[in-house]
Structure 1
Amino acid sequence: MPESQAFPIVHPLVVRVTHWINAFAMVCMLMSGWAIYNASPIFPFRFPVWATVGGWLGGSIAWHFAAMWLLCANGLLYLVYGVSSGHLRRKLLPVRPRDVARDAVLALRFRLPHETGRYNAVQRALYLLVLLLGVLLVASGLSIWKPVQFSWLTALFGGFDFARRVHFVAMAGVVGFVVVHLMLVLLVPRTLPPMVTGRARRSSHRIEPAHERTRA
């Protein structure tokens, strides 16, 4: 059997490239954002210096905006491709609460089947959620960046101070998504190589607990 049939393309090149650019830009935005937060914290804690980038407030702001433009351009490219090719519709829809609840229970029991290149209901819900959080981050970020020019947007968020809180909560949601995403990769490590090569053998399997894999 030809390799193209045994290992079909499950992640197109555009998806892979935008995925890794997005990962890099997101890390830069988070670390620079934490440094900016440390300069004027809104909660009674600060992020450790090793988790920040920029060195000082001006440097961190420069990193943040550079990563922001990269993230927005990359996100726009992914969105245009996703809509025009039908990728978003095929991969992320439909999302039904009943399906999400069912797959969440199966995942907690380590009995959720996984096929590389196809998202279960929980994954689809999480991806849609992080896309919405991204929109919220951009909107709240603009209201913080230019509170005079975007006074209507700042007012929509309840003022500058509340917009900062919204921005922080949306950021925390993105961090939570990243943590869950990495945990799923650790549970099913064979999902990582296809995001580099684009190819994978399609086969479903059950996510087994570590003690069961040890016995096998």
Structure 2
Amino acid sequence: MTIETTMQPSGPKLMVVHPLVVRLTHWVNAVAIVMMVMSGWQIYNASPLIPFRFPAWATLGGWLGGGIAWHLAAMWLLVANGLLYFGYGLIARHFRRSFLPLTPRAIGHDLGQALTFRLKHKLGTYNAVQRLLYVGVLALGVVVVVSGLGIWKPVQLQLVDAALGGYGTLRWIHFFAMTGIVLFVVVHLALVAVVPSTLPAMITGRARIAASPVELDR
């Protein structure tokens, strides 16, 4: 009896591209970041670092005390959500599957493709530029929380303050980390606008993806 192996492409299949934990933490994170940024701008307006103030419609809290209350509430939501996401990412190896490998060569190649509008998008798979952005914003999230805690509790966390340059320096670190997160959100929303098919998958978790060719035995 002879067994022949041929390759036959299968049609698109409904596949899970974003697990429930990833989707849940993504949307909770979106709400927490909006709250933190808007309340943070309210706090910033009380003592600006540069001669610029954010418009009232872009702030949350109404006044300094209200802004601080909203900011702290959003901070604990962000921290709890972040711990859940980091725990899942390590235990389920989500970080390894989604963000690695990440090499300078791959980043350079995909960045060049993106700048010339030739970078292909495969739903459920991050290219090197996306991986770099996600890793970068996760790092900024850690920086913004640590610097924020140092600003909030400069006496209790004086070692953190001293290690990062003191209260005045911490304010600048916090400001630039926040700015980086806001820029990430802008780029993220722009990419969703360019490739709108990514949005339903982040809501339902599933998308129709062309499966790899399958082997048939005869």
TM-score (norm 2): 0.90
**Is the CA contact (8 Å cut-off) linking 1:136 and 1:167 kept in structure 2?**
yes
Q: Deviations over 1:138-185 (max 9, x none)?
A: 111111001111111111121111110000000001011111111111
Q: Deviations over 1:42-83 (max 9, x none)?
A: 111000000000111111101000000000000100111111
Partner of 1:81: 88
Partner of 2:215: none
Q: Does 1:152 align with 2:131?
A: no
Offset of residue 202 of structure 1? 2.0
The one-letter code matched in structure 1 to 2:110 is D
In 2, Cα distance between equivalents of 1:200 and 1:107: 23
Offset of residue 7 of structure 1? 1.1
Q: Does 1:119 align with 2:126?
A: yes
The one-letter code matched in structure 1 to 2:83 is L
Partner of 2:39: 32
**1:30-69 residue pairs with structure 2 within 5 A?**
30-69=37-76
In 1, Cα distance between equivalents of 2:185 and 2:154: 29
Q: Give me the CA root mean square deviation.
A: 1.2
**Is the CA contact (8 Å cut-off) linking 1:154 and 1:160 kept in structure 2?**
yes
The one-letter code matched in structure 2 to 1:134 is G
Larger RCO: Structure 1 or Structure 2 (Cα < 8 Å, ≥ 6 residues apart)?
Answer: 2
**Is the CA contact (8 Å cut-off) linking 2:39 and 2:70 kept in structure 1?**
yes
**Is the CA contact (8 Å cut-off) linking 2:13 and 2:210 kept in structure 1?**
no
Q: Secondary structure of 1:44's partner?
A: coil
Offset of residue 85 of structure 1? 0.5
2:198 to 168, 188, 191: 191
1:131 to 138, 157, 177: 138
TM-score (norm 1): 0.90
In 2, Cα distance between equivalents of 1:24 and 1:43: 27
Task: Report percent identity of matched pairs.
Answer: 62
Runs of 5+ unmatched residues, structure 1? 205-216
**Is the CA contact (8 Å cut-off) linking 1:9 and 1:199 kept in structure 2?**
yes
Partner of 2:149: 142
Give 1 or 2 for the bigger CA radius of gyration. 2
Q: How many residues align?
A: 200
Partner of 2:29: 22
The one-letter code matched in structure 2 to 1:176 is L
Q: Secondary structure of 2:207's partner?
A: coil
Which structure shows the bigger proportion of residues in helix conformation? 1
Q: Does 1:167 align with 2:174?
A: yes
**Is the CA contact (8 Å cut-off) linking 1:31 and 1:53 kept in structure 2?**
yes
Offset of residue 203 of structure 1? 4.9
